[in-house]
Structure 1
Amino acid sequence: MQLDRPAEPSRKLIGLTPLIDVVFILLLFFMLTSSFIQWQSLDLTMSTGEGSEVSGEPPLMLSMTPDGRLFLPDEPLVLLDDNRVRDLLAGGNKSVILTPNPASSIQQVVWLLDQIGRLGAAGVSVNTGAAE
């Protein structure tokens, strides 16, 4: 006796064409909605330890901690906030010489240079030589 078995349903395969279309639409969506970084330049003067142009006031010497905070080398326990730096820069065309900590990242140094420039420094230099 022969039994009639129902035929197994055939598996429908997913077509690749609609899948590729969806991937391209998603790629286009993310490319159009993403924001691109606006690159800005930062003027930087590297100090060589030799004399530079003579001005009426000596530059403000600042040092930084490994975590990127500013302090005066003469007062190592006094960490400076934005208002204190603005007060130190007030009253003239004062330039700043920043001595970075060897453990600091370049991103922290660049961020501090930008921040000091925004607080009113006439010029910002980086002291790359060893502290004496």
Structure 2
Amino acid sequence: MQFRQRPREELELNLIPLIDVIFMLLIFFMLTTTFVHDRTLNVTLPVSSQGTEKRAPVKDHVIEIARDGRIAIDGKIYDSDAIRPVLRSIAADQRPVVVWADADVVNQKVISVLDLAREAGITKVGLGTTPVK
């Protein structure tokens, strides 16, 4: 007895559900990822009883002042003379600025940076601290 062979259907791999799942995972990870400022300089923030664990939002500009006087703005290290144009561009951006000054930095260095920021037109300035543990 001879059976009739049915024509075989070609197997195909449907990638559309796989692509949908990958896009959903991508959206999930983008929404749940926490973006924080990485410190460019090794800065030990001063302790304050009014400080909080809350970090500066990523949208804020960060000025770091190291113990040895080096200054970093938004992750780039600058000379003291070269920060004026950078501060002017930050002032035009009108976003808040957070100053992370090392606890052992000379107070005059912080005041000088704050003066340059005020001169550039920056009005929203905060100082980063660490809460008492």
- Using the size of structure 1 for normalisation, the TM-score is 0.46
Higher-Rg member (1/2) = 1
- Which structure has more relative contact order (CA 8 Å, sep 6+)? It is 2
Larger fraction in helix: 2
